[in-house]
């Protein structure tokens, strides 16, 4: 059974606009898809036509090959069927957008994934008042309060400087998190070359092409372990404990993720230095955003739906859980 509000429906495979025959972040290939951002639980390959920001379309092409569709700039309005669509910054990763949908005086905002913290690699989230606000709930428990990123980066640089014989290996997801950590290291004055795992190369190149400054990035291939002592290396989380990482001299293993707040997760991954750096809103960001937007109704997806739905109802805001399939925390 679909959950509906006037002209919009939430199905397990995505949010559907019947009068426009368009899906938002659908889990299966469709004729017309509106994609909020490039993470693989939102952007899948195989759609006949894609509407997304130009950056998201470029990310999808980098991951899935050529896409047919249309790249939009933030704020540009396009009519699909009888619905007006505009994409508004979500502050999550480069190109990430909220889909703002309007029809006959009613407005629905599908936020995709979002955060409110500053991020040098993307445009900040913009709150848009609306009737229905569709929000993520990845970190929707009061225990999740992300610390300021500056302190996490400073801790990392202090460890690197204190142990010049070891490499620092940071696990970070290939789309968004890796580039944000690199840009933050630069902002904190780390201007030496950074070393990256091959799996990060293409998206780092694309970020640069799209205007994000990352400084000098080098592969580790061909280097002797001793050459990497005192250096910072970034890799996808899956490479933290595999054979590839054995080439590094006694690495300090770090991981940048909102989940590093949970000690057990850090321990499971063998992470010596957990960095609580998230591209998702924490509890305070979620509740502040809902208060600010003051929607008539909230739809909640992605993670801890129950706690956020409960909070909304306490605030007298009707709220529902959407059971969207295939939403994962690829990005965090
Ligand atoms: Zn995401
Ligand atoms: Zn997501």
- pLDDT tens digit sequence for 226-280: 999 999 999 999 999 889 999 999 999 999 999 999 999 999 989 999 999 999 9
Taking the centre of ligand 1 as the mean of its atom positions, its distance from the CA of residue 201, in whole angstroms, is 19
Q: What are the tens digits of pLDDT across the range 64-118? A: 999 999 999 999 999 999 999 999 999 999 999 999 999 999 999 999 999 999 9
Taking the centre of ligand 1 as the mean of its atom positions, its distance from the CA of residue 251, in whole angstroms, is 28
Cβ atoms of residues 10 and 1 within 8 Å: no
- For the CA of 91, the nearest ligand: 1
Residue 126 CB burial class (10 angstroms; 0-12, 13-18, ≥19): middle
Per-residue pLDDT at 325: 80
Strand partners, 52: 71
Taking the centre of ligand 1 as the mean of its atom positions, its distance from the CA of residue 37, in whole angstroms, is 7
Alpha helix segments (H runs only) across the chain: 54-64, 149-162, 177-187, 201-209, 263-268, 283-293, 305-314
Question: Has domain 3-143+280-321 been given CATH number 1.10.760.10?
Answer: no
Taking the centre of ligand 1 as the mean of its atom positions, its distance from the CA of residue 93, in whole angstroms, is 7
Taking the centre of ligand 1 as the mean of its atom positions, its distance from the CA of residue 228, in whole angstroms, is 32
**E strands within 238-288?**
252-256, 273-275
Q: Collect all residues with Cβ–Cβ distance below 8 Å to 176 and sequence separation of at least 6.
A: 39, 92, 93, 94, 121, 122, 279, 331
Task: Enter the CATH code of domain 149-275.
Answer: 3.40.50
Q: What is the spatial distance between Cα 224 and Cα 209, in angstroms, rounded to a whole number? A: 30
- For the CA of 39, the nearest ligand: 1
Number of H helices, E strands in the chain: 7, 20
User: How is residue 101 annotated by DSSP?
Assistant: E
Taking the centre of ligand 2 as the mean of its atom positions, its distance from the CA of residue 115, in whole angstroms, is 12
Per-residue pLDDT at 329: 59
Q: How confident is the model over 132-146, as a mean pLDDT?
A: 95
Better-predicted residue by pLDDT, 313 or 331: 313
Q: What are the tens digits of pLDDT across the range 206-219? A: 999 999 999 999 99
Taking the centre of ligand 1 as the mean of its atom positions, its distance from the CA of residue 318, in whole angstroms, is 25
Taking the centre of ligand 2 as the mean of its atom positions, its distance from the CA of residue 223, in whole angstroms, is 36
User: In this model, does residue 304 exceed pLDDT 90?
Assistant: no
Using alpha carbons, select from 155, 161, 160, 217 the residue that is nearest to residue 186.
217
Q: Which of 32-36, 94-98, 194-198, 328-332 has the lowest mean pLDDT?
A: 328-332
Q: How confident is the model at residue 40 (pLDDT cuts 50, 70, 90)?
A: very high
User: In this model, does residue 18 exceed pLDDT 60?
Assistant: yes
Taking the centre of ligand 2 as the mean of its atom positions, its distance from the CA of residue 112, in whole angstroms, is 7
Which residues fall inside 5 Å of ion ligand 2, going by CB?
41, 113
- For the CA of 92, the nearest ligand: 1
User: In this model, does residue 299 exceed pLDDT 70?
Assistant: yes
Taking the centre of ligand 2 as the mean of its atom positions, its distance from the CA of residue 25, in whole angstroms, is 10
Taking the centre of ligand 2 as the mean of its atom positions, its distance from the CA of residue 152, in whole angstroms, is 23
Per-residue pLDDT at 238: 93
Q: What is the spatial distance between Cα 83 and Cα 76, in angstroms, rounded to a whole number? A: 14
- For the CA of 279, the nearest ligand: 1
Taking the centre of ligand 1 as the mean of its atom positions, its distance from the CA of residue 119, in whole angstroms, is 14
What b/e string do you get for 161-191 counting C-beta neighbours within 10 Å, with b at 16 or more? eeeeebbbbbbbbbbbbbbbbbbbbeeeebe
What are the backbone dihedrals phi and psi of residue 268, each rounded to the nearest 5 degrees, phi first? -55, -35
Q: What is the spatial distance between Cα 190 and Cα 11, in angstroms, rounded to a whole number? A: 46
Cβ atoms of residues 240 and 157 within 8 Å: no
Per-residue pLDDT at 330: 57
Q: How confident is the model over 115-136, as a mean pLDDT?
A: 97
- Domain regions of the chain by residue span: 3-143+280-321, 149-275
Q: What is the spatial distance between Cα 121 and Cα 278, in angstroms, rounded to a whole number? A: 13
Q: How confident is the model at residue 303 (pLDDT cuts 50, 70, 90)?
A: confident
Better-predicted residue by pLDDT, 258 or 323: 258
Instruction: Concatenate the DSSP letters of all residues of 46-89 into one string.
Output: --SEEEEEHHHHHHHHHHHS---EEEE-TT-EEEETTEEEEEEE
Taking the centre of ligand 2 as the mean of its atom positions, its distance from the CA of residue 270, in whole angstroms, is 25
* Helix pair 201-209, 54-64: axis angle to 10 deg: 150
Q: Which two tokens stand for residue 175?
A: 């789309």
Per-residue pLDDT at 26: 96
Per-residue pLDDT at 5: 87
Q: What percent of the chain has pLDDT over 90?
A: 91
Residue 142 CB burial class (10 angstroms; 0-12, 13-18, ≥19): exposed
Using alpha carbons, select from 174, 168, 236 the residue that is nearest to residue 205.
174
- For the CA of 25, the nearest ligand: 2
User: In this model, does residue 326 exceed pLDDT 90?
Assistant: no
- For the CA of 176, the nearest ligand: 1
Q: Which of 26-35, 260-269, 278-287 has the lowest mean pLDDT?
A: 260-269
Return the residue matching tokens 């997806």: 301
């Amino acid at each position: 059974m679909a959950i509906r509000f006037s002209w919009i429906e939430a199905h397990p495979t995505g949010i559907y606009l019947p009068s426009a025959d368009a899906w938002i972040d659908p889990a299966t290939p469709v004729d017309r898809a509106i994609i909020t951002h490039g993470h693989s639980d939102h952007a899948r390959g195989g759609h006949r036509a894609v509407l997304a920001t130009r950056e998201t379309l470029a990310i999808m092409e980098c991951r899935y090959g050529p896409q047919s569709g249309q790249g939009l700039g933030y704020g540009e309005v396009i009519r699909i069927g009888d619905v007006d669509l505009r994409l508004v910054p979500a502050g999550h990763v480069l190109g990430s957008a909220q889909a703002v949908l309007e029809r006959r005086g009613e407005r629905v905002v599908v936020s995709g994934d979002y955060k409110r913290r500053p991020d040098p690699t993307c445009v900040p989230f913009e709150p848009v008042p609306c009737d229905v606000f569709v929000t993520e709930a990845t970190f929707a428990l009061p225990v999740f309060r992300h610390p300021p990123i500056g302190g996490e980066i400073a801790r990392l640089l202090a460890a690197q400087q204190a142990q010049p014989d070891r490499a620092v290996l940071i696990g970070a997801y290939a789309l968004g998190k890796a580039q944000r950590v690199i840009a933050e290291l630069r902002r904190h004055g780390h201007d030496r070359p950074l070393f990256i795992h091959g799996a990060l190369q293409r998206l780092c190149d694309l970020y640069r092409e799209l205007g994000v400054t990352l400084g000098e990035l080098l592969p580790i291939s061909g280097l002797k372990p001793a050459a990497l002592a005192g250096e910072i290396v970034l890799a996808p989380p899956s490479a933290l404990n595999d054979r590839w990482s054995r080439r590094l001299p006694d690495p300090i293993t770090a991981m940048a993720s909102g989940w590093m707040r949970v000690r057990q997760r850090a321990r499971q991954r063998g992470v010596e230095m957990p960095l609580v750096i998230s591209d998702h809103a924490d509890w305070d960001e979620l509740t502040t955003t809902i208060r600010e937007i003051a929607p008539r109704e909230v739809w909640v997806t992605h993670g801890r739906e129950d706690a956020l739905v409960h909070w909304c109802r306490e605030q007298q805001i009707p709220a529902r859980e959407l059971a969207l399939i295939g939403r994962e925390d690829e990005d965090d």
